[in-house]
Amino acid sequence: METYVFVFVALVLCTCAAGKECTNIPTQSHTFRNELMTSKNETWKAEVMSHYHLTPTDESAWADLLPRKLLTEQGQHDWGVMYKKIKSMGVFNAPQGFLKEVPLQDVRLHEDSIHGRAQQTNLEYLLMLDVDSLIWSFRKTAGLATPGTPYGGWEDPIKSEVRGHFVGHYLSASALMWASTQNDSLKQKMSYLVAGLSSCQEKIGTGYLSAFPSKLFDRFEAIRKVWAPYYTIHKILAGLLDQHTFAGNPQALKMATWMVDYFYNRVLNVITKYTVNRHYQSLNEETGGMNDVLYRLYSITGDSKHLLLAHLFDKPCFLGLLAVQANDIADFHANTHIPIVVGSQMRYEITGDPRYKEIGTFFMDLINSSHSYATGGTSVNEFWSNPKRIADNIKTTENEESCTTYNMLKVSRHLFRWTKEVSYADYYERALTNGVLSIQRGTDPGVMIYMLPLGLGVSKAKTLHSWGTPFNDFWCCYGTGIESFSKLGDSIYFEEEGKDPTLYIIQYISSSFNWKSGKVLLNQTVVPVSSWDPYLQVTFTFSPVEVPVTFTLSTLNLRLPSWSRLDGAKGILNAERLSLPTPGNYLSITRQWSASDKLTLQLPITIRTEAIKDDRPEYASIQAILYGPYLLSGHTSGGDWNLKPEANNGDWITPVPACYNSQLVSLSQKIKKSTFVLVNSNQSLAMQKLPKPGTDLALHATFRLVLKEPSSKFSTLVDANATSFVTRKGLSQYHPISFVAKGINRNFLLEPLFSFRDEHYTVYFKI
């Protein structure tokens, strides 16, 4: 009977036109959705929802209802033609020759590196969270006792219909973090979490598992207002699979399989009762990466039901646009659709259907050419705007939803593994450095942002959401955030199968890698980058991993980033100078690596400007400033963004010398029980209470003390009106990557975007 149903649904997929609406419903941000779903104004909610899920009877009526230019210019396609590529079910073989992921547990980040500190901050947050509080709503839904206190925000047991989504992310993050650190306390937490969720699933008894009752899916299938139930199910399924894959928990795989059996029957019932069109119409709601996680599950189980269900969550109206390379994704909710592209990439890896490779490639090109910021990120107010209109986007603070960067990294990672092209590794480095590392507030555990503002005089602390809190927000970007910082070591090294072991080193991050096939422990040490020493300097050393010691012939391929230059680049192996290819290629070395080997790379880092993705002439002068992969931002609080480069290249921007940090002081006074500091506010001096580090006030309370002569010293003035201060270390310090840029009206202190906390900054300048 199961085989018959599979064939029947497959035929339906091949012969029926897909649902023609292609938008998230309602087409508003998550912030609006939260406001809508928690509102008690039923009249307002009904009015809002009345504008969505309309089913016109003819093509022209449907086109008139769309709030976007889908069928104009390049979009003038007959839908039957548009879906022709996407709907046929040809027989293909799984492609071969992809680079292999290395086991995450074989990679260890150096604790004192930028990435190591970010990972540690995230680990501290994961350990802060209480498992009973996390699964409170799951137990409530299952009818079990509910010890602990439920968390708030998007995990609120009453107000939030996506409660449980963060628990799914926590399953993934804890599995990834355990693989990265082998932390025993985290292992206990995640094992208790899986066991607790299993008890909930067993109590319900149908395979269903969620923090909300199944009646939300009744509303979803009836196309009534509901907030993205499959979005949460995707997170839970992905978390269980990650617990199986990275933490070796077999119970988690059984739970995921039972869940999918339940939802397979639900989807089949909708198609049987109505049509496959009706099912596709329901996909206009956000469903996360359901196709992706189902393809992943199929790769483990080989169960044809899992493959079919994955196909049914490939959103054809969106993938169809990409299949015919229509350059029109404006007004789509970005993070609804990027995961669908990631799922289509998994479809290619499993089925070998080349059209899905083409979809991923075209999509990446489209984002990079027309919809990306200098960070590598995308979206404004959670949506894509018109192509090459980024200058309009930076007029708001709601830029680059953090979730989109998390998912774009997945897209680029797939493409790199397929092609080995350096450009995809360069993109990964840019987005990770500027779009991921920038969302933590220093080393404060559990303090992250939703949006990364990229406009003029903006602050991460002054957006619609500001900084989140550890226990009362749990936005979508908190979920992807804890995952991102748990897998910082997963894309440094990749292996290639062949006669001899081959390793690609594509990210320069201080770490060690137990390269089992190469029979060596590789240690990568990156000298912290600075502005006064414009080189990326990396050293690799090797240790045997077997006793007795054996070495094998193996190859290292090291990425030479496109942002570097050949002039001044050096590669040295055991004191022997190597011949380097031009940037954008690989340095390839084949030998029997031994414990005495030492490989050093010195790659020049240069300042460069990059035009904003906007093709209107009036915005031609708006540019970002990068130093290698680092996006520089200027400390600003007003509207000035005018720079004036000198004709002599390099004179307009100069590095801050290393010695300047030793000259930074703050001047304080103790008044009763409070400490006050001297502050330069709007070019006038005033006394303010001791400010929090990482703020504008801390910056303005920091002065550079320049002594004219080596013998200069402080003196005490005897005067009735004199006052005294205690000199202390400056409340702010120059980042090692710091420059001063000459402006028309003032100079700008430039530092990496990821180093900013609450301070105001500007990313793009008029140059």
Q: Please, what is the end-to-end C-alpha distance for the chain in angstroms?
A: 68
C-alpha to C-alpha distances, 103 to 100, 108, 281, 516, 560, nearest whole angstrom: 9, 11, 39, 10, 24
719-737 pLDDT, tens digit each: 656 678 899 999 999 999 9
Neighbours of 714 (CB within 10 A): 8
Task: Give the residue extent of every domain in the chain.
Answer: 79-484, 512-526+535-546+554-604, 612-710+722-766
The mean pLDDT value for 70-80 works out to 34
6-64 pLDDT, tens digit each: 333 332 333 333 333 576 555 556 666 666 666 677 776 665 554 443 322 223 322 33
Nearest of 409, 400, 407 to residue 454 by alpha carbon: 400
Which has more confidence, 355 or 12? 355
Encoding tokens for residue 721? 């009106």
What's the CA gap between 485 and 492, in Å, rounded?
14
Architecture of domain 79-484: Alpha/alpha barrel (1.50)
Q: Quote the percentage of the chain above a pLDDT of 90.
A: 78
What's the CA gap between 717 and 729, in Å, rounded?
23
Return the H-helix or E-strand segment holding 535.
Answer: strand 535-544
CB 439, CB 755: distance < 8 Å: no
What letter would DSSP give residue 74?
G
183-217 pLDDT, tens digit each: 999 999 999 999 999 999 999 999 999 999 999 99
pLDDT at site 548: 73
What's the CA gap between 151 and 584, in Å, rounded?
47
Nearest of 314, 301, 341, 214 to residue 266 by alpha carbon: 214
Encoding tokens for residue 120? 């540690």
Secondary structure of residue 506 in the 3-state scheme? coil
87-138 pLDDT, tens digit each: 455 567 888 899 999 999 999 999 999 999 999 999 999 999 999 999 999 9
708-718 pLDDT, tens digit each: 776 666 666 66
pLDDT at site 575: 94
426-483 pLDDT, tens digit each: 999 999 999 999 999 999 999 999 999 999 999 999 999 999 999 999 999 999 999 9
Whether pLDDT at 542 is above 90: yes
What's the CA gap between 260 and 255, in Å, rounded?
9
